[in-house]
Amino acid sequence: MSGLTPAELSIWNALLASIADEMGVVLGLAAHSPNIRERRDYSAAIFDAGGEMVAQAAHIPVHLGAMPEAIAAVQRLAPWQPGDVAIVNDPYLGGTHLPDVSLVAPVFHKGELAGFVSNRAHHADIGGMSAGSMP
């Protein structure tokens, strides 16, 4: 998207941010977990094919700050195919803590990898050694 005027850049910024926001709205409405549905402990973002965040919704800042590292970790899973989804919650691979689970999916345009979409949501218990999946 090089060569954009400031007005065009502003339009693209608003468009992509609204898509990321809608990703979060849909996640919240579809969720069964009170952490996601009621507490809104989730985030959503859009990344380019190189893993750079291009849009984020105004959700949980700590999620959004760590998401690029999760994208970098799953980029190693290439080659990507349409329909692929990676699930990440490793705190050392861009996670925040074990109950924050990220879903990362590639986006294709005309058969070429165009970017990634991701959401991260806090789950009450994912089967860790102690209640709440916390050490």
Residue in 46, 42, 108 with CA at minimum distance from that of residue 71: 46
Angle at 17 between CA 69 and CA 61, to 5 degrees: 45
Separation of alpha carbons 135 and 128, rounded Å: 8
User: Is the model's pLDDT at 135 over the cut of 60?
Assistant: no
Could you read off the pLDDT of 100-133 as tens digits, one per residue? 899 999 999 999 999 999 999 988 877 767 666 6
* Distant-in-sequence, close-in-space partners of 8: CB < 8 Å, separation ≥ 6: none
Reported pTM = 0.86
Q: Report the pLDDT averaged over residues 56-68.
A: 82
Query: Would you call 73 helix, strand, or coil by DSSP?
Result: helix
User: Domains in the chain, please, with CATH?
Assistant: 6-133 (3.30.450)
